[in-house]
Amino acid sequence: MDKLCCNVPQTSSKPKVYRIPALLYIEETLLTFAEQREEKADHTAEQLVMRKGALRRENSVTVEWSEQTVVREAHISGHRTMNPCPVFDRANRKLFLFFICVEGSCTEWWQIGNYCNKTHLCYITSEDLGQTWSGLTDLTEHLSKEWVTFAVGPGHGLQAENGRLMVPAYAYVGAKPIKPVPRAVSLYSDDSGENWQFGSLLEGKSIECQMAEVSDGKGRFIYCNARSQGGHRVEAVSDSKGHAFTVYSNKKLVETGYGCQGSVISFPAQTEAAADGGENQWLLYTHPSHAKKRIDLGVFLNTSPSDPNAWSDPRILYKGPSGYSDLAYLGDGWFACLFECGKEEETERIALKIFNFSEIKVNTQESRTCPLQQPTEALESDVVTVFI
């Protein structure tokens, strides 16, 4: 067997690298997670770390941070822990932290090339917002035998209005001699996490994804936004509560280079009708805005979520090298974005930016009579480092 797949990374005194942000907002608390790595490459990942932030609301929203801790329960001996994906069950007030554990320094490409999965599907839970954690639950037996390898998230999961817990995922599917292809999929539970099952794979190629539940006045649906290798994002919708998805043929959102993870959330429509209790929701999406490089993290707005052509041009949250991101809606028109960024390359640190809808609404209908800034102007003030 290829030694690259079996070697366990050795410890080093070099500064650690933090990648792959995940963010969850619960009751005035921000829960942030990331991978701690020896170097920036995937196969050097070691373990998950977390920090909690208490929100303070006055004229703006600020955060009081706790110390960084290691999530030691998220571990299998001889494996590295990757892809944090938290989701919160409102009914039982239980936090689920999903992740994958990969054998030694075995790369995803080794698994694909050898048609041999070395990855475990795992989660731990907490009933006190991450102060203490349960033991590890391994769901690897639920994987399809056709899956060469897979991953969850990364970034936040979703609880739908009907209570369904959803974890975004993707799998490489194929058997010799057919080259495996990546396809996004949902992992969900209808009994507060007692049992989990996978939905149907999206048609065509799609990789890392996130999902959001949207109401457009006519009904509710699940929206999926996924990384691709084809120059444009993959967008899909589900009217089966997230079990099966229909992929849009329209392709307005541009993918960056060989692809990059992006984040999407839904939030109440920022109109007078929403303030009066209207149920309509809009979508917000973050992703590097450059067509070739991971630079200039953009935030995109869609006020008509059922229309894939309704995405706005991006406002720039961070001008410069930037990569993976994760969004949260904080209420009252406030948002938080946790993202990779740096001066020379995007893997230098993970930072948090809190911003208000008033800073991004320049492209909406109601703002045209009172424009704020040019769409390309950066909103990079008040960026706070979380992991470095």
- Concerning whether 42 is annotated as a catalytic residue, the answer is yes
What Cα–Cα distance (Å) separates residue 251 from each residue in 235, 311, 326? Answer: 8, 11, 22
Angstrom distance (rounded) from CA 85 to CA 306: 26
Q: Is 110 helix (H, G, I), strand (E, B) or coil?
A: helix
Question: Distance from CA of residue 344 to its chain's centroid?
Answer: 24
State the amino acid at position 326 in one-letter form.
D
Structure tokens at 158: 């979703």
Catalytic residue among 25, 35, 38, 42: 42
State the amino acid at position 378 in one-letter form.
A
- Concerning whether 324 is annotated as a catalytic residue, the answer is yes
Q: Within 13 Å, how many C-alpha atoms sit on residue 108's CB side? A: 19
Q: 101: Cβ–Cβ under 8 A, 6 or more apart, which residues?
A: 74, 75, 76, 79, 80, 81, 82, 119, 120, 122
Catalytic residue among 213, 235, 326, 340: 340
**Cβ atoms of residues 259 and 265 within 8 Å:** no
Q: Is 112 helix (H, G, I), strand (E, B) or coil?
A: helix
353 assigned ligand-binding residue:
yes
298-319: b or e for each residue (b if 16 or more CB lie within 10 Å)?
A: bbbbbbebeebeebbebbbbbb
Q: Is 113 helix (H, G, I), strand (E, B) or coil?
A: helix
- Concerning whether 340 is annotated as a catalytic residue, the answer is yes
Catalytic residue among 324, 329, 348, 380: 324
Annotated binding site for ATP: 353
Which residues are the active-site residues? 42, 324, 340
Binding residues: 353
